[in-house]
Structure formats: C-alpha cells, structure tokens
Amino acid sequence: MSTSTGEQTESEQVSSDSVIDLFKRWYHVPGVGLIMAFMLWVRLQPLDNFIRNGEVFYAGNDAWYHLRQTSYTVRHWPTTMPYDVYSEFPTGVRADQFGTLFDQLVATGALIVGLGDPSQHTIAMSLLVAPAVFGMLVAIPTYFIGRRLAGRFAGVTAALVLALLPGVFLRRSTAGFSDHHVAEVLFQAITVLGIMVALRSAEREKPIYELVADRDWDAMRTPGKWAALAGISAGLYMWVWPPAVVLLGILGVFFAIALSIEYFAGRSPDHLAFTGIVVGVAAGFTVLLSIDEFGLAVTSLSFLQVGLGLGLAAGCAFMAWLARVWDSTDTDLLRNASLGAFGLLFLGIILGAVADLPFLGLPFALVLVFGGLFGAVAYMRDEKAEKKAYYPVAISSILVAGLTVLKLALPDAFGILIRNVNRTIAFAQSDTTLTIGEAQAVVGAGEPFIQTMTQFMGAQYGLTYVVAAAAFLWLGWDLYSSDEYRAEYLFVLVWAVFMFLMAMTQVRFNYYFVVTVAVLNGYFIGRVVQVVGLPEISTDISYSDIKPYQVMSIVAVVMLVVMPLTPVLAMTSTTVDAQADSMGPGSVMLWDNSTDWMEKNTPEPGQYGGASNELPYYATYENQDDFAYPNGAYGVMSWWDYGHWITVKGERIPVANPFQHNAREASDYLLAQNETHANLLLEALPNIREADKPVDQLSNEDLQRLVDQQNDQQAGEDTRYVMIDYQMATSKFGAIATWTGPNPQTYYTNKQVNINNSSVVLPGMSEQYEKTMLSRLYYDDAKGLEHYRLVHENPSRVGIASVAVNREGQWRAAAVNRAFNVQQLLQYQFSPQVQVYDTQIESAVKTYERVPGATIAGQADVSSATNVTARVELSSQTTNRTFNYTQTVQTDGQGNFELTVPYATDDAMSVEEGTSDPTVEATGEYTITVAGSNETGTVAVPESAIMTEDGEPITVDLSASGGNTNSSISTDANATDSESSADDDKPRLVQSDSGTVARAA
C-alpha cells in the first residue's frame, strides 16, 4: 500500500516537473497565442455594426475600392484589375496601388471559404474581417523583433503592448476598415525582422569579397539565405503598397551609416555590404516579377522600385570597394581631398540656402556628424584614426554630389524623390495633400510642436511613448557601450527615427509607429529584467533563483506600461475594446439610398440616350492612357471623396475619385460662378489634358476651343449626373476651394442678423458662395439653371445653419454653414444664449441629371424688353415635399422669347429608353408669366423634348388673364436668374403637433 502510494507520488512529481519544464520552454507560445486571440476578439467587436439587413458595409472610402478589386480577383484569380473604366471618367484609371497583394490574399481567402465559387456576400464578408486577421498576425513579427532585442519576455511584452494600444493602428486593423494599411504594417514588420536576422547572420558568418571571388557558396549560404528572404519580404511589402519603396531609402541611410561605422572601427564592412547587396537585388527582382508600369511611378510597381533596390545593392558594393581602396591610399592625399570635399559641402549648403535649393540641406546632418568626427580625429593627429575619419566624409560628399547630378541630369526623377521625401518624413505636404484627412500632419503650421505632439502621443500611446523614448536612448547606449557590437540594434534605431518622422508628418503613419513603440517597450522591460538580475525563464532556472525584489520591480514596470491601457483598469474610454466597438460605416449609410437608386434607375453605361453598347463591369481592360468610351457611356460628377461609392455601390463612372484624380476639375466645376462655365468644363473633359493652362485658369473661350477640337468619339463622352451631399456644401467646402481657389475665406462675409430686435454683425456665406454651382444645386434646387433636373433626393434630412453664442453680452459665431441634427437645431431655437440663423433643412444627398433641355418659345405683347418666367411645381416622392422650379429670360424688343427648361411634365420615357426614372416629377404644366403684364399661358413639356439635342421649340400662346398674376416678380429688365428665383419654398424649422421637425414653405 505504502509502496503503491510512493510510486504514485513519484509519478505525479515527474509529471509536475514535466509540466513546469514545458511551461519554462514554451510559455511564450500560449502567451502570444492568447494575446493574438484577444486582438482578434477586440477587432471583431464591431462586426454587427457593418452588416445591415444582410448587406455588408465598410468604413471610409478606399475599402469600397478594395471590394471591387477583390471581387475582380476572385473572378480572374490570381490577377488584379489592370485598368478600371468604371472610375475617372472620361479616361479610366490605373489602380495599381489598390489592386495588390492585399487584394490577392483576401480573394484567395474568399475562394477557400467559398470552396472555389464564393458568392458576392462571401467575398464581401472576407474583406470585412480581413483587417482583423492581418492585425492579429502583426503580433508575431512584433514578438520576434522584441525577442531578438532583449529575450522572450521582451517579445511577449511587445506583443502585449501592441494588443492594448488604441489609436490609428487599432482603427485600421478593425473589421470594417478594409484598407491595405494593416497589411502594410504586417509586411513591414516581417521585413524588419528579416533584415535583423540577416544582419546578425552576416556578423556571425562574415561573408567577404574573397569568398565571393572563390565561389565558396557553402560559406555564404546561411547569410545569403536570410538576406534573400529579407529582400523578397521587402519586395512583397512593395507588392502590398508600392510607396513602400521608402523602406529602401531607410535601408540606404542605415547601410551608409553602418558601413562607415564598421570601417571606422577597424573592421571590414564586407559582411554588411554583402547583406545590403543581396537584400537590394532580391527586392528589385521581386518587384520586377510583378511590375505594372515601365516608368518612374511611386504608386505603381515600376522601375522606380526596381531601380532603388538595385541602387541599394550598388551603393553597398561601392562603399565596400571604396573601403578597400581607402586602405591603400596615401593619407596626405585623402586629407587634402577630404578637406576640399568638406569645404565644397559647406559651400553647397550655403549656396543652396541662398538659392532656395532645399535638396542640398538633406545631407546637412551627415556633414555635421562626419565633419565633427573628422575634425576631432584630425586634432588628435592620430594618422590611422585620421585616415578612417576621411571615409565617412567622402561618403557624405559623394551623396551630395550624386543628388546634385540627379537634379541636373534627371530633374523629373529628382522631383519625384524630393516630393515624396517631403510628404513622407519632412513635414512638407502640399495644400492639396492636406485636404486629405489621413495625410494631415500631427502638428499643424503655427502650433506649438512639443505641446501638440505630446498631447497627440498621449492620446495614441498613453505612457508607452515615454517608455519608448527611454528605450531608444537605452538601446543606443547599449549599442555604443556593449562589448559585442550588433548592427541590428543600429538598424532598429534608424528604423525608429524614420517611423517617428513619418508618424509626425502624416497622422495615418502612426499605424507603422505603433510596432516601433511596442518593440521599444518590450526592449525596455526586457532590459529591466536583465538589470535587476531576474534570469530568463528556461528549463535551467530554479524558483529559488528568483528574489522577491526582482519580481516586484518587474511587476511595477509592467503595471506602469500596461495597466493604463487595459480595458478593466483604464481611467479613460479610449481602450481598445471601447474604441473598436465604436467603429461603424459612417457617411456611406446616408449615400446608400442614393447609390442604390442610381444603380436601379439610371441607364447602364453604354445605354444612355438609347444607345445599345455594353461596358461589362468586371471585364478586363488593358492598361492605357485614355479609354475610348462607347456612345452612351457617361460620367457622374461629385467630389473625389465619393468616387469609390459611385463606382462600387452605384456601378456608375465618377469623374473624380479618392485617388484625387480629377479633383481639380471637380473643384472648378463645383465653384463655377455660372452654368455656362460649368457645362463647358464638363464638355471639355475628354481632351482637357491638352490645355496649355491649369484647369482653374481656363476661360470659357479656352474651354470652347477645346470642345471644338474634339473628335466624334470624344464629343460623345458626356457627364450626365451630378451628386452633391450636405458635407460638400458645408464642412468639405474649404477643401474643395483649396484645390482651385480662390481662398476659402473669400466665400465668407459679414452680414446683419436680427437678434431680439437688434441688428448684430455675424459671419455668413457670401454672394460668391451662393453663386457657385454647388450652392445653386444643393440649396436652390437648380432654380434658374437650364440643364439640370433634380431626379432624386435622399430621404435622410439634415439641418444646416449658422450658430451664434452669447458670451458676456457679445454675440459670437460658434459655427458658420454647418450641418446639425435637426432636433438639436430645434433645441437651439429655444435657448436664449444661442441664436440660429441662415437655417435650412435639406436632403442629405441630391442627384441631378444634366439634360439638353426643352425650349419654350412665345411672344409677349410688350413694347420693350421684359422678363418672362416659366414656373412648374415639382413633387419629391422620397422627401414628400413640393417646390417650384422657375426660369426667367428677357424678351427682345418685339416681345419674342425662348426659355430652356430641364423638367418634363410627363413621365413618358423609361430607363430602357436611355434616361432616368426620377423620383422628382412635375405636378402639372408650366405656367408662363410676363413681368408687369397680365399675360399668362400654360404649356406641357414632354420628356422626349428635354432629352433631345437641338429639338424644335415648344410654342406657348399667351393670353390676358384679367389681372397681374406675377406681381411678386421683379420688373427690372436686368434681373438675373438668381434674383428672379422665388424664395417662397426656402425651408425653415417648425414644430408640428407631433413634435417632429418639418419643412415648411
């Protein structure tokens, strides 16, 4: 009995020891696994927010285009769409940046889930959850980077910090934000890890030139393998996002510094140069396998990525060769050459500052660092050290010379380089780039840098950014003071600097910086573990080796970093679970009704006006500069933000899109001060690229010349619809005006507002704003315009108003021309401290059809030029409102007149016949009135007449009505169409018996 018990106890002890040993050896696996499961759970929290009545929606704009690309790739696997004729009318567009490895991976997942034949819903769901899966996977390379820096515990901590951080990365890796950004983060992290492994392998194996010359492949196999894998990973990273070529630039800076340090330290730089050469060549050839464009393009896989990859390799080879030459060169010759080069560097920088050539300032930091190093060593008069110091001076001199030659020999390539440096790391985006929300700088112009930066970083990263800064300094000290120099530490430092610069230059790049912050936090805690003497958990550790103070120190540091971010203990609502759960589709829900109407109630592209051509939605169209659209194809004008929604949800062709293509044309159209200019611009779009001036500088005569020069095919490429929403008329108007001007402030003015029977001067929209096509279409329902008929109103309503607040007896504007919830506006009206003025209630989205219009002709019995007005009452089915369309012209001296009107008084034509099925229809015939006369007449206008170019005029007979039926209309013969537009149906806020807000005439 006792023997049996003893055997059982011994067995249990063996089993217990085995479990403990397994935990010591593998604790990081379940640890990281649980972290990844938590990340996936958090990122799937808002899933139900994006599924409405069985239909899948997405956040933002670009996700919708990824749906198009993924759907195409499923049908044409594994290729992505080379050219899209359903965007950027009337040319079509290359969409390489939005048809990449990300879409191929999602499409492959959909094919697997759908067993080779996924439904469109399965494709949409695969894209919906893809960001959460990619985001979860980022934890793996984050763990391994942290582990390489400071051990397994550091790696687990890095993954944990990544999982708990709110902010940009969380939003872009949550279900519904189905953009390629999270895939960028994953592949960059994998590439950074690969380069670290390759650098360490090279330091161990020491591949040098002699091994290459002797073809000793066995000696180079291991470092060559890791470097090749890192290069392939860099190439795949560029497959996900072609502008990821910036990583090659970061590697160029790193290798320039690393090779200089190796040579200065008295070591051969061959092994690091070998790594750079293999990485560059592998990256370049990986891109070459999937090259999209045979030119120099940043947003396409082009010779730019291939060239920079091979350039990285050539630069590393050159530096290694120069180091060998340096050793055999006379010191006096090097001293004289370096002094001359150093002098030329400073002279170049001075001349660059005087001549406003900022490109010469790029190597300024290198000049200071290497120049100071050169001066210090030269002062010591140590000939050997002095000779080494000349090497980095030569490298920086060659860099400046190379940039100068590039600017002179290839100015276009140099321009691409500088523009992308400015917009990526140099805080120098253009005004138009700044109209893109995600491209905003963290610190705007005129803002205090430190204060604004720390506020932003605190909101994004909590205390982890402070720990990351401390870890950065600690890692730098370890690199400098350690007996074993590790180039991968230097690479992490260089990478961290560039990620910080990118994160400050564009807000969106914080999705990259989050990995850097997580890794540095892991390093910090890992080093604390080592400093306090706590041994790394392994099979050799005994619990008796662990002291209480060691555990308490680590717990205190971990709590300082992690606890403020945890959902249970955090003091704010910005934790990962709360932020993720708040995600939703946003404005696309308002547009859903409008794009759905457009898909079902407008002719398919190729069939407008009765044409019978086809433009298949998922067909393959070869890359080209300008697609020749068939007769009956047409464009839809709107602001660029909405282009992808029109393409994907409406299955129609927008003129402008979120690639910012045709944004300038859209801006010029929306800001046009008269209908003539707006229409000429649309008609000139097919060949507007042939103009010798920017679009916003083209006069009506310039546009007419372009129209006259068109061939028959170009003349048939018409823009037939205009879609305007409340944001374009309010919050986005400043961005629209920025593209073509004048300055957005010119559209505002001071006006007299009556408050409590007193006149108060407050800001409002100016007459220049009210004359824009945007305002006349959105607020005025196109009154007075000849060729635009309102065909659909979104049933969702928004209140638009200006709001003033009484502060210490002074009325000050709190908002001008901004959208509000209508109930909120109603509450404002009953607050004595708040004054609402310029109030209107409008449909969220209005859709217009641009038609030839019908001509109404007649003769009035007058002896001089007089205004004649046509009026028709219209009824909107979707918003249950009636309103009037009016058009006023002037007779000639004999009383003859012609009016062009866009509305039909019947609904005789169908979509199959090539026109819209509008939800806004006339309730009766047109009434024609003559100013200052009792002559009136009525006339019917068939739909066929408004759809016919150069149709015969419809004659109206006027007769005396026994009284002046139009006394409210001005008799001024010089009245403009806007002045003659009756204001009797402008909306105002009223409260019905039921307590709801209604629109009243």
Tens digit of each residue's pLDDT (9 = 90 or more) over 312-326: 999 999 998 988 887
- Give the C-alpha separation, 276 to 202, whole Å: 10
Residue 938: pLDDT over 60: yes
As a whole number of angstroms, the distance between CA 901 and CA 914 comes to 19
Lowest mean pLDDT across 417-431, 589-603, 713-727:
417-431
Angle at alpha carbon of residue 575, lines to 572 and 579, rounded to 5°: 110
Exposure class string for 801-833: b at 16+ Cβ within 10 A, else e: bbbbebeeeebebebbbebbebeebbebeeeee
Does the pLDDT value for residue 926 go beyond 80?
yes
Helix or strand or coil: residue 195?
helix
Q: Cα–Cα distances in Å, from 722 out to 2, 633, 685?
A: 92, 15, 15
**Contact, 852 vs 948, CB < 8 A?**
yes
For position 436, what pLDDT does the model report? 62
**How much is the average pLDDT of 987-992?**
38
Confidence of residue 833 (pLDDT cuts 50, 70, 90): confident
Rounded to the nearest 5°, which phi and psi values hold at 682?
Answer: -65, -40
Measure the CA–CA gap between 677 and 670, rounded to whole angstroms. 10
Considering only CA atoms, which of 252, 231, 230, 130 is closest in space to residue 180? 130
Q: What is the DSSP-derived secondary structure letter of residue 954? A: E
pTM attached to this predicted model: 0.86
Closest alpha carbon to 645 in 663, 657, 633, 661: 657
| Encoded tokens for 328 | 């055999």
> Quick one: pLDDT at residue 145?
97
Residue 992 pLDDT class (50, 70, 90 cuts): very low
Query: pLDDT: is 955 or 389 the higher one?
Result: 955
**Across residues 515-542, what is the average pLDDT?**
76
997 pLDDT band (50/70/90 cuts)? Answer: very low
Question: How many whole angstroms separate alpha carbon 734 and alpha carbon 797?
Answer: 22
Closest by CA position to 468, among listed 428, 525, 506, 510:
525
Reduced to 3 states (helix: H, G, I; strand: E, B; else coil), residue 730 is coil
Q: What pLDDT score was predicted for residue 77? A: 93
- Band the pLDDT of 438: cuts 50, 70, 90: low
Structure tokens at 358: 């900022």
Beta bridge partners of 725: 845
User: Which tokens sit at 313?
Assistant: 């390799």
- Tell me the two tokens of residue 342: 């150093």
Give, to the nearest 10 degrees, the angle between helix 246-264 and helix 411-425: 90
In the prediction, which pLDDT does 879 show?
A: 93
Segment 380-400 mean pLDDT: 68
Per-residue pLDDT band for 355 (boundaries 50, 70, 90) equals very low
* Euclidean distance between CA atoms 923 and 285, whole angstroms: 67
Rounded-to-integer distance, Cα 900 and Cα 920, Å: 19
For residues 772 and 802, give the distance between their C-alpha atoms in angstroms, rounded to a whole number.
19
Contact criterion met (CB below 8 Å) for 809 and 758: no
For residues 784 and 786, give the distance between their C-alpha atoms in angstroms, rounded to a whole number. 6
CA distances to 592, 741, 745 from 733, in Å: 22, 11, 11
How large is the average pLDDT for residues 735-743? 89
pLDDT grade, residue 167 (50/70/90)?
confident
Token representation of residue 131? 């960001």
| pLDDT reported for residue 972 | 38
**The pLDDT of residue 544:** 55
List the beta bridge partners of residue 751: 762
Q: In this predicted structure, what is the pLDDT of residue 21?
A: 65
Average pLDDT over residues 736-755: 89
Q: How far apart are CA 857 and CA 895, in angstroms?
A: 11
Q: What percent of the chain has pLDDT over 70?
A: 81
d(CA 694, CA 740): 9
Average pLDDT over residues 208-225: 82
pLDDT above 90 as % of the chain: 53
Note whether 182 and 65 are within 8 A (CB): no
Q: What pLDDT does residue 433 have? A: 58
pLDDT digits (tens, 9 = 90+) for 259-295: 988 888 888 899 999 999 999 999 999 999 988 878 7
DSSP state of 484: S
Contact (CB, 8 A) for 329 and 337: no
**Dist. CA 684–CA 961, nearest whole Å:** 45
Average pLDDT over residues 112-123: 95
Host H or E run for residue 285 = helix 270-288
Residue 571 pLDDT exceeds 90: no
832 Rama sector, left if φ>0, alpha if ψ -120 to 50, beta otherwise:
alpha
335 burial type by CB count under 10 A (0-12 exposed, 13-18 middle, 19+ buried): middle
Confidence check: pLDDT of 383 > 80? no
Give the mean model confidence (pLDDT) for residues 483-492.
90
- Give the whole-angstrom CA distance, residue 221 versus residue 226: 9
Please identify which residue in the block is written with the tokens 């992308």.
Answer: 420
Q: Which of 111-120, 349-358, 719-728 has the lowest mean pLDDT?
A: 349-358
Q: Tokens at residue 506, please?
A: 């564009």
Gyration radius from the chain CA atoms: 34
Lowest model confidence (mean pLDDT) among 491-495, 518-522, 538-542, 678-682 = 538-542
Q: What average pLDDT is seen over the chain?
A: 83
At residue 772, the pLDDT reads 95
**pLDDT for position 709:** 94
Query: What is the mean pLDDT of the segment spanning 685-713?
Result: 93
Measuring CA to CA, which residue among 618, 604, 606 is closest to residue 650?
604
Orientation angle between helical segments 383-409 and 411-425, nearest 10 degrees: 110
Residue of 238, 214, 225, 233 whose CA lies nearest to 274: 225
Residue with tokens 């550790």: 541
Task: Provide mean pLDDT across the span 121-133.
Answer: 96
Q: What is the model's pLDDT at position 995?
A: 31
From 76-90, 409-423, 700-714, 912-926, the region with the lowest mean pLDDT: 409-423
The residue assigned the tokens 């021309």 is 817
SS (H, E, C) 446-476: CCCHHHHHHHHHHHHHCCHHHHHHHHHHHHH
Q: Is 856's pLDDT higher than 60?
A: yes
Are the C-beta atoms of 245 and 310 separated by less than 8 Å? no
CA separation for the pair 654, 642 (Å, rounded)? 8
**Has residue 538 got a pLDDT over 60?**
no
The least confident of 76-85, 236-245, 381-390, 679-688 is 381-390
* Weakest mean pLDDT among 346-360, 583-597, 700-714, 786-800: 346-360
487 sits in the region (left: phi over 0; alpha: psi -120 to 50; else beta) called alpha
Q: What is the pLDDT of residue 491?
A: 95
Q: Residues 886, 982: contact at Cβ < 8 Å?
A: yes
The mean pLDDT value for 829-842 works out to 87
| pLDDT, average across residues 952-968 | 66
Alpha helices in 462-544 (DSSP H): 464-481, 487-505, 510-531
pLDDT at residue 1001 in the model: 29
Query: Which of 345-349's residues contact partners 24+ apart within 8 Å by CB, and which partners?
Result: 345/371, 345/396, 345/397, 345/400, 348/400, 348/404
